[in-house]
Amino acid sequence: MLNYQSVVERIESFSNHSPNVTLQTVARIAELPIFFLQVLSANFGQSMPKILISAGIHGDEPAGVEAILTFLEQHLPRWRDQFHFDVFPCLNPFGFSHNLRENSDGIDINRTFEDEPTVEARAVQSVLEHSKYDLFIEFHEDWEYDGFYLFELSENRLQLGESITSAVSLIGKLHQNALVDEYRTNKKAVLRPTSEVRVRGPMPVYLFKRKKACRTITCETPSSFWSMSKRVDAHLKALTTALDCLLKENQYRPEFYQ
């Protein structure tokens, strides 16, 4: 299993050895830092699509945190010319350290972005106050189901969900045409909640409603059924497929946010 000290060491090492990377500590919870990394594109004179990546808001969902570390350490060079990346590698270090979904006050951080934000949610809101993204992608895990699925919020944009789940289906089974709580995924394991059914308070809904992200993807890997390395591979595949799609969208231009 992972421990948070090793996450801290890997992030600091990455930051110290990478050009054009800034590392901020946006809050400390029980002395554990919540990090925010900014990775400027190698073409930083030009306007590049901006991607926000986040994991670990639920502390008992470690595969997303490991996927982000692996992406930064091994995959970034392939993408640095084409994107700017802002990254929250682990938003709930207390939960991560204790294998708990909630934070140190027993609160689910991912329900507090609209009403009475937790310290962690406030730290995110504050550091993103003036930020806008072409894509927000976050990594979660779901112990109840045996296949991968995702949520997508998008308005008048190329939809990424089915391309991502098709790519992930080469790694493992999809949770397709199946219930997630009272909702049902489509035959490609994608859920696009309408505004009426959107739960209040999750980070992607907050970012989408405030037009800080013009599209959001929430990936869910089956933590009770797949090995850690398979779940990490699935998140990495989801991220790199999303980036590929954005590049292919021709000649994709970041028309939304310059």
Residues at the contact surface with Zn ion, assessed by CB under 5 A: 58, 61, 140
SS3 52: strand
Q: Which is nearer to Zn ion, 33 or 62 (CB)?
A: 62
Q: Which is nearer to Zn ion, 86 or 142 (CB)?
A: 142
**222 or 254, CB closer to Zn ion?**
222
Return contacts of 16-22, CB within 8 angstroms, 24+ apart.
Answer: 18/72, 18/76, 20/44
Which position has the token pair 């779901």?
142
Residue 68 token pair: 């982000």
Q: Which is nearer to Zn ion, 61 or 120 (CB)?
A: 61
Name residue, tokens 């901006």. Answer: 50
CB of 146 to Zn ion, least distance (A): 17
Minimum distance of Zn ion from residue 54's CB (angstroms): 11
Contact status, residue 11 vs residue 89, Cβ threshold 8 Å: yes
Closer to Zn ion by CB, 10 or 58: give it: 58
How far apart are CB 100 and Zn ion at their closest, in Å? 12
Assess contact for 145 and 222: CB atoms under 8 A. yes
Angle (CA) 40 139 47, round 5°: 25
3-state DSSP helix/strand/coil % of the chain, to nearest 5: 35, 20, 45
DSSP 88: E
| Closest distance to Zn ion from the beta carbon of 64 (Å) | 8
Report, in Å, the least distance between residue 48 CB and Zn ion: 29
Helix (H) or strand (E) holding 53, with range, is strand 50-55
Q: Which is nearer to Zn ion, 134 or 220 (CB)?
A: 220
Question: Shortest distance, CB of residue 219 to Zn ion, whole angstroms?
Answer: 10
Q: Cα separation of 81 and 93, whole Å? A: 31
